[in-house]
């Protein structure tokens, strides 16, 4: 299957700092990328949908000014957690969907564990 990578895999930062997480589709082009957050023992919650070259669409309750998303190319999307606080500590997972659109399979990255001290 297709490969999606995330970097970094784990990050620890101080409260108030910003953290950038990269999501790359390694062997396919992704028109759409998705960002999820997952708390321990819970399911994945969609944060935002990112389309290449356009503004991301955020889910209700997700602050777009806090979670900045950039989808500059068909293989790269970034999520920046600005002014991170301990409550932002979570497992952040991206996924990428191919050019075939909604009928194309969504492949997930390995996740990034963010810990805010």
Partner 1 sequence: GESVGLHLPTLSVQEGDNSIINCAYSNSASDYFIWYKQESGKGPQFIIDIRSNMDKRQGQRVTVLLNKTVKHLSLQIAATQPGDSAVYFCAEIPGFQKLVFGTGTRLLVSP
The site for partner 1 (CB under 8 A) is made up of 1, 4, 6, 34, 42-46, 49, 91, 93, 95, 102-103, 105-111, 113
Closest distance to partner 1 from the beta carbon of 106 (Å): 6
Residue nearer to partner 1 on the CB measure, 7 or 82? 7
Quote the CA–CA distance of 14 and 85 in Å, as a whole number. 8
| Min dist. Cβ of residue 16 to partner 1 (A) | 26
**Chain centroid to CA 7:** 10
Angle, vertex CA 91, rays to CA 46 and CA 103, nearest 5: 35
């Amino acid at each position: 299957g297709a490969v999606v990578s995330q970097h970094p895999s784990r990050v620890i930062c101080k409260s108030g700092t910003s953290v950038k997480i990269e999501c790359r589709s390694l062997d396919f082009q992704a028109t759409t990328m998705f960002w999820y957050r997952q708390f321990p023992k819970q399911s994945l919650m969609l944060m935002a949908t990112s389309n290449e070259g356009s503004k991301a669409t955020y889910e209700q309750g997700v602050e777009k000014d806090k979670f900045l998303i950039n989808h500059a190319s068909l293989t790269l999307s970034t999520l920046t957690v600005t002014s991170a606080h301990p409550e932002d500590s979570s497992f952040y997972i991206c996924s990428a969907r191919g050019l075939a659109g909604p009928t194309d399979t969504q492949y997930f990255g390995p996740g990034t564990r963010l810990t805010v001290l």
